[in-house]
Structure 1
């Protein structure tokens, strides 16, 4: 019974990421496709196949490092963010008390405290959450040059993830306080520091990590594509949620997304290739069409831009906060192709 409960609380035994085909640019047949996961995998665990089975992950070669998830531009590959977010939240200082550092370590480092199989799993959403909670976060890695789980360039990848996080958080006025460093001898005795409220949950999750090897694989459930809210990956849902404190109304948010100009021929290509259905075509009773953008659902992959036949789509890097509150009208036409 205990193992069943722990399996629901912690996905640390889930070394193979979930693949959601409708979010994959290969499955969407976007121009140029995408092989980011295949190119980034340090263990040759990912193969690119035919339509309908575009991404194939060999569980015997996959180490769960998460680098493929980190580089996926659409969230087609993902791990459950919630256990790691909760781990950082549990280490948060109480109101009125001095800021208390939280930490995440790689499993191979030998450091104490909450760990991930590899810090290649760290994404901007996680770092932005720490920034929103005003929690200084230390990421401790081991000897990446010789690690059998991750890759030698994991520290450099973390630097790029942090840069993306700071661009995201800049309008809030509260950058994420993140330190990336190698393990030291003093880290071996690091204790898990949590608030009293989070102590029990942290203890339970720590126990889950200890028995992770004996817990059967319990992959994330498949995305229910009939629910529009579920089409947006957790990563981008949490990026939007963690934009706290709320940016001023006149300050632009870094959220790359498409704009459409007057050379548009009203074809359906952009909506067809969009991996999260952030772009939709609203057909009107009079025969016209409205092209709408749900900005919060856009991952900025720009498959629409690369696939647009007349090259009528352009990227806009920053948007005012009000643009997240309702669908944006990209184009309105009285005719449809």
Structure 2
């Protein structure tokens, strides 16, 4: 996959094949630009660009639905130490000497994606909680700008998903306030090379001192249970989507429950659909696709791949699609399902096969006849 190193001392890079704006158009996705607190990240016809002034907060990374953007410092360790009541995560601005043993530090809590948080929950297991520590600095931090850490959207989804999976309420990830004096906060997020070196030394020193303890290893994603379309798309195409679904599948397996349908978007298509497939052609992830068999044709939908970009609904000439971003449908996911199924018919005029909907003329011949009627009607009038 072609990777583009964006101009940033914080190691921000773009995998162009996974970027929905590059694969389709800026209309498909510009969430990274919307999430950037300084407005230095832009999405245009030429792709993604980054001007001077990047803070290294990673909020663009967390908002990217496909995983096209990545930055240094947000990788979750393969093992997190056991024995603590909670697994704590803090930002790099907190002086290392003030971090509790075993704390995992990232450049900014706002850069944690939903997949990263779910992987931490997997590492913690059902007996421990994942705690995001709020030092009271976010309101005055350039990368924050809010009273609480800017991870609310990701945390809300994760808590809702875990609740639907029956996760113990006392072990749901949470933000815990533990203020520090504002005078201790550095103005900028440390550069990765400096902070990562400190973090590695602290982390491995802790593990060395706990040699007799057991280290919890992350549960391997059960790839055999992943949707076939995701496997077909490949991990390199939509890596963040793969991570998210793999983590959800693993957590559902731990609880012995199916993956709920209401964690994903829903799409409905009205009878106004003309079955021309514009929606499927515009879909940047392949969540919508056309199908044909001997008896009928129509549109299929695979919720796992949908990133709620809304391009399908905006592109439909008939306005036949409705994208529900807050689906409330109960039940479990069962792979692709048919949104429409239209039986074949034969046009009485051109004798071509078409999706009939009980009509005798295909849309092209019907339009031609309607235009002719309008034209001759006007002439004779």
Q: TM-score scaled by structure 1?
A: 0.68
> In the alignment, is residue 121 of structure 1 matched against residue 111 of structure 2?
yes
The 1:227–1:254 alpha-carbon spacing in structure 2 relative to 1, beyond 3 Å, is closer
> Across the two proteins, how many residue pairs are aligned to each other?
286
Does the CA contact (< 8 Å) of 2:20 and 2:285 recur in 1?
Answer: no
**Superimposed CA distance per residue, residues 218-259 of structure 1 (whole angstroms, 9 cap, x where no aligned partner):** xxxxxxx99513333424334533543447569653222322
Does the CA contact (< 8 Å) of 2:68 and 2:238 recur in 1?
Answer: no
Does the CA contact (< 8 Å) of 1:109 and 1:140 recur in 2?
Answer: no
Structure 1 residues not aligned, in runs of 5+:
1-12, 94-98, 202-224
Q: Which residue of the other structure, out of 160, 172, 178, is the alignment partner of 2:174?
A: 178
Q: Distance between the aligned counterparts of 2:238 and 2:247, measured in 1?
A: 11
**Superimposed CA distance per residue, residues 35-75 of structure 1 (whole angstroms, 9 cap, x where no aligned partner):** 3322321233312322xx221124x5333311112233554
Helix, strand or coil at the partner of 1:109: coil
Structure 2 residues not aligned, in runs of 5+:
1-8, 186-198, 219-229, 345-353, 356-362, 364-381
Helix, strand or coil at the partner of 2:307: coil
**Residue 63 (structure 1) aligns with:** 55
The 1:274–1:75 alpha-carbon spacing in structure 2 relative to 1, beyond 3 Å, is farther
Q: Distance between the aligned counterparts of 1:114 and 1:287, measured in 2?
A: 56
Helix, strand or coil at the partner of 1:103: strand
Does the CA contact (< 8 Å) of 1:124 and 1:161 recur in 2?
Answer: yes
Aligned residue runs from structure 1 range 190-269, under 5 A = 196-198=213-215, 227-230=232-235, 231-235=237-241, 236-244=244-252, 245-246=254-255, 248=257, 252-269=261-278
How many Å apart are 1:136 and its aligned residue? 0.9
Helix, strand or coil at the partner of 2:234: helix
Q: Which has the higher contact order (CA 8 A, sep 6+)?
A: 1
**Residue 227 (structure 2) aligns with:** none
Does the CA contact (< 8 Å) of 2:277 and 2:299 recur in 1?
Answer: no
Q: Which residue of the other structure, out of 38, 43, 46, is the alignment partner of 1:48?
A: 43
The 1:260–1:169 alpha-carbon spacing in structure 2 relative to 1, beyond 3 Å, is farther
The 1:331–1:274 alpha-carbon spacing in structure 2 relative to 1, beyond 3 Å, is same
Q: Distance between the aligned counterparts of 1:260 and 1:77, measured in 2?
A: 32
Q: Distance between the aligned counterparts of 2:295 and 2:93, measured in 1?
A: 60
How many Å apart are 1:116 and its aligned residue? 0.8
Bigger Cα Rg: 2
Helix, strand or coil at the partner of 2:24: coil
Q: Distance between the aligned counterparts of 1:289 and 1:107, measured in 2?
A: 54
The 1:120–1:41 alpha-carbon spacing in structure 2 relative to 1, beyond 3 Å, is same
Q: Which residue of the other structure, out of 301, 319, 324, is the alignment partner of 1:311?
A: 319
CA-based RMSD of the aligned residues comes to 3.9
